[in-house]
Chain A
Amino acid sequence: MSYAESMKRLEEIVAALEAGGVDLDETLKLFEEGSKLLKACQTELADAEGKVEKLRLEDVE
């Protein structure tokens, strides 16, 4: 799932939980999914970091 999709799904989960009316089993499932998505988003952020690479045109074959 892309970062954008993860955040969108997360928003849905939070909205569903905030609205209430979800039974306990479903709540636990949603919470677990939400926690996983949060972790994935944080990992995604970390993955974008590293170093700046400068290539030479001769090396790009």
Chain B
Amino acid sequence: MAGEPVEVGQFVALARMALVNEPYLSNAAIIGELTKLTLARSGHSYFTLTDNTGSIDCVFFGGNSNFESQDIKIGDKMVALGGIDVYVKTGRMQFNAKRVQPVKSIGELEKTRKELIGKWRADGTMDRPRLVAPQIPKKLHIITGGGSAALSDMERLITDRWPGFSYTIIPVLVQGNEAPSQIIRALDFAGRNADLIIVGRGGGSPEDLWSFNLESVCQAIIDCPVPIVSAVGHESDFMVSDMISDIRASTPSNAIERVVPIKDELLALIGQATDRLDFAIDRLFSGYSDKISNFTIRLSAAPMRGISNARLLQTNIANRMSSAIERGFMKQKNRLTAFSSILNSTNPTRVLERGYSMAIGQDGTPITSVAGLKRGDPLTVVLKDGKVQTEVQE
């Protein structure tokens, strides 16, 4: 049973207290279609959000610029953040909005994205020359969600590839209303301090990734004087940022694989180059020293060769001489043989053999004439088979 009647104002004030003290109602985000909008001269915005089952009047004190800058129009789907309130004077319940943001359908977003791509194709932005990443980045800046899985994946991968590699992380919101401005701020800073930038995030719904399709974010990437790697979502997610950045990585991990070298591989390459340089130099120098020692040998052998030539010449002459002498001897020898055979044929013993005899005088010489012989001279008569002593008788 209702008690004593209370005054209307009191009652509404009580009702208001009950509502605003309900946490779920006092801090809420409501989504609906904008069906009525008045931007008052005072700067306050009065609007109505409606869906199939309900409707509520809303107020956003000083909210006009928010509607204008975000281009929120009647018929748009939008989110209002704030809390419930009751206007005691009229007893009307209303939603006291602190923030509003449009909710674009994927279809609308896709249309904007296509228009953006078309625009940048037409004006040559897509064909502009891209910056090249340094082979060893020394001031790598990573712009991504602080504490995100994507960040820890990247950190782990960097440590695997190059323990002790130095880099800078700029944590930002990568989705929601604040994301674009934070990403742009981080890009601006990194553009002045980094030598390579990775900007990206892990996988998510198309709406979650949408910052990377926004003109403002992409324009910041285009304007950045430092090479930028766009690394958004999964393999299959293809953002406008991927198309206009200097390097497109399919995932955040892929970005690391593309720009952070494996230290051991570089060391191996340097080691190889060192070995090859040393080896080539060794070979060249041993070639030179071979040449030098070859020259030395030839140089020092030159007089020797003169001598040995002379020696050879001498030997040659000596040989020729001795063979000439020998030939001379042979000639003599042949002549001697000839003589001896002639002599043989005239050997007196041969005559004796034919029955002749020979008288030899006292002096042992053959007597060939009677002249000079006297009676009584001893003679030796030589016959075929012996000698007879006799004397001249007449």
Contacts and interface: CB of A to CB of B under 8 A. Distances in A.
A7 B281 contact: no
Interface in B153-206: 155, 162, 164-172, 182, 185-186, 188-189
Interface in A18-61: 18, 20, 22, 24, 27, 31, 34-35, 38, 41-42, 44-45, 47-57, 60-61
Interface in B128-151: 134-138
Nearest to A13: B277
Contacts of A61: 185, 189
Nearest to A17: B280
Nearest to A18: B280
A3 B137 CA distance: 10
B351 interface: no
Contacts of B274: 38
B171 A14 contact: no
Contact of B281 (A11, A27, A42, A53): A27
Interface string B47-66: 00000000000000000000
Interface stretch (B220-228, B265-273, B308-316): B265-273
Contacts of B167: 52-53
A56 B147 CA distance: 12
B281 A31 contact: yes
Contacts, number: 98
Interface size class for chain B?
35 or more
Interface centre among A4, A35, A55 (most CB of B within 10 A): A55
Contact of A57 (B186, B263, B273, B284): B186
Nearest to B187: A60
Interface centre among B186, B276, B279 (most CB of A within 10 A): B276
Contact of A14 (B263, B273, B288): B273
B166 A50 contact: yes
Contacts of B270: 38, 41-42, 45
Interface centre among B162, B263, B277, B283 (most CB of A within 10 A): B277
Contacts of B266: 41, 45
A60 B186 contact: yes
A48 B280 contact: no
Given A17-B280, A45-B136, A60-B186, A38 B169 contact: no
A38 B273 CA distance: 8
Nearest to B166: A50
Nearest to B263: A45
A44 B324 CA distance: 85
A3 B277 CA distance: 18
Interface residues of A, number: 35
Interface centre among A14, A17, A60 (most CB of B within 10 A): A60
A42 B270 CA distance: 8
A28 to B, nearest CB: 9
A20 B282 CA distance: 11
Contacts of B276: 14, 18
Contact of B136 (A3, A10, A22): A3
B336 to A, nearest CB: 73
Given A44-B136, A45-B263, A53-B168, A60 B189 contact: yes
Contacts of B169: 52-55
B158 to A, nearest CB: 8
A10 B270 CA distance: 9
Interface of B: 134-138, 155, 162, 164-172, 182, 185-186, 188-189, 263, 266-267, 269-270, 273-274, 276-277, 279-281, 283-284, 287-288
16 contacts: A4-B134, A4-B135, A7-B273, A17-B277, A18-B279, A18-B283, A27-B284, A41-B270, A41-B273, A49-B165, A52-B168, A53-B168, A54-B168, A54-B171, A55-B170, A60-B185
Interface of A: 2-4, 7, 10-11, 13-14, 17-18, 20, 22, 24, 27, 31, 34-35, 38, 41-42, 44-45, 47-57, 60-61
Given A18-B276, A20-B284, A48-B138, 13 more contacts: A7-B135, A13-B277, A14-B273, A17-B280, A17-B284, A20-B283, A35-B277, A41-B273, A45-B136, A51-B166, A52-B155, A54-B169, A60-B188
